[in-house]
Chains A and B, each alone.
Chain A
Amino acid sequence: EVQLVESGGVLVQPGGSLRLSCIASEFTFSTYWMGWVRQAPGKGLEWVTNIKQDGSETFYVDSVKGRFTISRDNAKNSLYLQMDSLRAEDTAVYYCAKHGDWCFDLWGRGTLVTVSS
């Protein structure tokens, strides 16, 4: 089955760090741009970051620039999000998403990150 499975979401203190992972199955991961989108509890969707097929280009929303780093390991069909200097406002479900034709055409089920003391 074509799918994305995220992991790594936990409760973390403000200022802390966390790394999210996403494993892709049943599609040629290395040939697609990938991204992360988050959704705060009870709120809408917010694009966070995108990464090119070979990792040579990355883009971020301003609110996470300098704190979050997206990366990938094509040999492991895996996408990562390193999150540093976490803030309460980063609390959200984080979705891994595959790029389609200028859109996100496949989404994981998400992993919850809670930033609280």
Chain B
Amino acid sequence: DIVMTQTPLSSPVTLGQPASISCRSSQSLVYSDGNIHLSWLQQRPGQPPRLLIYKLSKRFSGVPDRFSGSGAGTDFTLKISRVEPEDVGIYYCMQSTQLPWTFGQGTKVEIK
């Protein structure tokens, strides 16, 4: 199974400042079609997960452009350019290149 490791596990941030979350996979996520099937999800308190980014860097419909995804091979990053109050929650990376699909442990973003 591909293990997904996120850092940090907790990220206190200042409103209006940037935030960055890293995700590392135990194997390359490059699929035979050349795509990297890495997505990022946000889970606000008491809510189900919500898709933010898919295929490494594609922003899902309705997701603010302050969220961006990047990376290559086994190292990936989610960036929030300016943190807003509604960004508080837990962020997960997920790989869907290989079964079983696996998630990172989650990174809790909170306001300082």
Q: How large is the interface on B (under 10, 10 to 19, 20 to 34, 35 or more residues)?
A: 20 to 34
Contact check, B51 vs A62: say whether CB atoms are below 8 A apart: no
Interface string of B2-28 (1 = CB under 8 A from A): 000000000000000000000000000
Contact check, B96 vs A102: say whether CB atoms are below 8 A apart: yes
A25 to B105, CA, bound (A): 31
Q: How distant is B43 from chain A, measured CB to nearest CB, in Å?
A: 8
- Is there a chain B Cβ closer than 8 Å to A73's Cβ? no
Compute the total of residue contacts between A and B using a CB distance below 8 Å: 63
Contact check, A45 vs B35: say whether CB atoms are below 8 A apart: no
Q: Which residues of B contact A105 (CB under 8 A)?
A: 51, 54, 60
A3 to B26, CA, bound (A): 34
Contact check, A109 vs B48: say whether CB atoms are below 8 A apart: yes
Q: How distant is A98 from chain B, measured CB to nearest CB, in Å?
A: 10
A47 to B96, CA, bound (A): 10
- Is there a chain A Cβ closer than 8 Å to B89's Cβ? no
Interface string of B76-100 (1 = CB under 8 A from A): 0000000000000000101011011
Q: How distant is B60 from chain A, measured CB to nearest CB, in Å?
A: 6
- A-B contacts, 11 listed (Cβ < 8 Å): A37-B49, A45-B94, A45-B103, A46-B103, A47-B101, A100-B54, A100-B60, A103-B37, A103-B51, A104-B51, A107-B48
